[in-house]
Amino acid sequence: MLARRRVFCRDCIESCYSSKSWSTCVVRAPVTQHRRHESSHANPRQRPLRLAIVGSGPAGFYAAARVMQKLPDARVDMFERLPVPFGLVRYGVAPDHPEVKNCQERFEEVAQSERFQFVGNVKVGRDIPLDVLSQHYDALLFAYGASQDRALGIAGENLTGIHSARAFVGWYNGLPEFADLDPDLTQSDTAVVIGNGNVALDVARILLSSIDTLRNTDISVHAIEALSKSRVKSVIVAGRRGPMQAAFTIKELRELLTLPSVGFKFEDDSLVPTAEYIKSLPRLEQRKYRFAQLLEKGSATTFEEAKRHWHLMSLASPRSFQEAPGTRNLQSIVFDHNRFKDPNAKFERTASVAPTGADFTVNSGLAFRSIGYKAEALPGMTEELGVTFDTRSGTISNDKNGRAVSADGQRQVPGCYATGWAQTGPTGVIASTMENAFASADSIIHDWESGKDFLATNDGKGWESLSKDSRVTIDKPITWQHWKTIDAAERERGQAAGKVREKFTRVEDMLAVAYAAQP
């Protein structure tokens, strides 16, 4: 039997599996029976699996594709609180990263199956109580992502001029929740981004990018208007540890370093390993230090010649935000200066830091908190289903393979599963989200085929019977055809503005367009 090896499609970012004689992308492949994926188990069930997926981001779609491909009779209904699908692919990916959004085309293919049903504009747990939802499905997969951001919990955090990166990203991407954020980018020529993840670099890049470059993307028109008036010329990206512990990827760093007319500054070379040190490491370990060479090389434009700049500031933890006298506006940020607890571990990924007792102040009237997202429990999740939600980590308690478990981890909750950030927390990129979704889907498939307990008191009829349940209170549910109408209208609006699309930023506008064409 030929060994399977992991490869990547040349025309999409999804990871696939192949042998010398077989290669297919699980999302691109038809969601029908595929000989390679036939199970060796005899299915003891008397009818096909009926699965409800809560959330329509990449995790939900990847899981749907996997289940529908491996269980050729399975039917999947996907529920989304917004009238539009795709979650963070639509509202989280930076507008100047259109290639990352190519996976939407694969998801469109999944949605064309007669065994798939999209139901948008519905809040599961409110419009559809979870104990009602469970009565119509064999299994529930929670894939609804992270809708909250983490706070710093320090003095002055609510001053005007301080925003969460999640809100700012949602604002420039047209997320209805943040359509009215209206950040004032004219009050300061320096912005501080607190955090060292990819989202932090996205924020920095959007603030420093040429308006002419952004105009042709799907960035929202209100963001273009605000950014065109921006006074921001310098962005400080602050991290509590060093660059070798940063969570951002080489790709994100390279993009920021190669922005035209943007200079880069990094003051403490001792935090970056030398070429000699890197060469002394095993080959696999050397890969972790490739971006050390990028930091050493710096930006294409020298700091002195650049019109705009960014500064990577390490070993700095914000202590407090200071207001301008007589106002509630941000004026400056006080940082604690940190040190590595073990100086010899400063290049290790897990190195920890402690405050030195010294502090310093950065003058700025604009700051972005980018220290992570977190999910929250759906109403009734524990009371109605027995699913435990860990409020500290912002995740559904699970066995690491997607099965929801009791608080002590000793008991599986029948028929309940999690994937994506609701399972793992806000980590990884699209490719890792896909792998995680596959694993959760495989758990569902294995449990179904092996005869494990699922949701016992259900009719297995899904949306057909759920939509007629008197306990369901949905005003205007959105079908996939409704979404295609919204999609076409957004593309038409974008074409008129010389861009790929102009998103609707109001739910009521989406519903008006959808129901005008498809009552």
Supply the pLDDT for residue 404. Answer: 96
* Helix or strand holding residue 118 (H, E): strand 116-119
Distance, CA of 144 to chain centre = 10
Compute how many other C-beta atoms are within 10 angstroms of the C-beta atom of residue 420. 31
Q: What is the mean pLDDT of the chain?
A: 89
Tokens 């929740």 found at = 177
357 has pLDDT over 60? yes
Confidence of residue 293 (pLDDT cuts 50, 70, 90): confident
- Could you report the per-residue pLDDT of 492-519, keeping only the tens digit for each? 999 999 999 999 999 999 999 999 976 6
Q: What residue segments make up the domains of the chain, in order of their start?
A: 5-147+376-478, 151-371
Supply the pLDDT for residue 39. Answer: 44
Supply the pLDDT for residue 29. Answer: 52
Q: What is the mean pLDDT of the segment spanning 17-23?
A: 29
Least confident of 12-16, 299-303, 420-424, 429-433: 12-16
User: Is residue 36 a contact partner of residue 29, using CB atoms and an 8 Å limit?
Assistant: no
Confidence of residue 430 (pLDDT cuts 50, 70, 90): confident
Q: Helix crossing, 290-297 with 250-257: angle to 10°?
A: 10
Identify residue 310 by its one-letter amino acid code.
W
Confidence of residue 409 (pLDDT cuts 50, 70, 90): confident
User: What pTM, to 2 d.p., does this model score?
Assistant: 0.89
- Could you report the per-residue pLDDT of 204-236, keeping only the tens digit for each? 999 999 999 999 999 999 999 999 999 999 999
Distance, CA of 400 to chain centre = 19
Confidence of residue 425 (pLDDT cuts 50, 70, 90): confident
Q: C-alpha angle 8/11/16, rounded to 5°?
A: 30
User: Is residue 502 a contact partner of residue 493, using CB atoms and an 8 Å limit?
Assistant: yes
- Residue ranges at the known binding site for FAD: 59, 80, 88, 124, 421, 428-430
252 has pLDDT over 80? yes
- Residue ranges at the known binding site for NADP(+): 196-199, 240-241, 252, 428
For the chain, percent of residues with pLDDT exceeding 70: 90
CB-neighbour burial class of residue 260 (10 A; exposed 0-12, middle 13-18, buried 19+)? middle
20 has pLDDT over 50? no
- Could you report the per-residue pLDDT of 74-126, keeping only the tens digit for each? 999 999 999 999 999 999 999 999 998 999 999 999 999 999 999 999 999 99
Tokens 């990206």 found at = 237
Least confident of 10-19, 259-268, 394-403, 504-513: 10-19
| Region of 28 on the Ramachandran plot (φ > 0 left; ψ -120 to 50 alpha; else beta) | alpha
CATH dotted code for 5-147+376-478: 3.40.50.720
46 has pLDDT over 80? no
Confidence of residue 296 (pLDDT cuts 50, 70, 90): confident
Least confident of 230-234, 248-252, 364-368: 248-252
- Could you report the per-residue pLDDT of 476-496, keeping only the tens digit for each? 999 999 999 999 999 999 999
Identify residue 17 by its one-letter amino acid code.
Y
Q: What is the 8-class DSSP label of residue 478?
A: B
Identify residue 52 by its one-letter amino acid code.
A
Q: In angstroms, what CA-CA distances link 267 with 48, 295, 298, 305, 348?
A: 61, 10, 11, 18, 20
Question: What torsion, rounded to 10 degrees, do the Cα atoms 293, 295, 296, 300 define?
Answer: 100
Supply the pLDDT for residue 373. Answer: 85
Question: What end-to-end distance do the CA atoms of the chain give, in Å?
Answer: 53
34 has pLDDT over 50? no
Fold type of domain 151-371: FAD/NAD(P)-binding domain (3.50.50)
CA–CA distance, 41 with 36 (Å, rounded to integer):
14
Q: C-alpha angle 35/36/38, rounded to 5°?
A: 65
Confidence of residue 456 (pLDDT cuts 50, 70, 90): confident
- Residue ranges at the known binding site: 59, 80, 88, 124, 196-199, 240-241, 252, 421, 428-430
Supply the pLDDT for residue 288. Answer: 67
Tell me phi and psi for residue 368, to 5 degrees: -130, 125
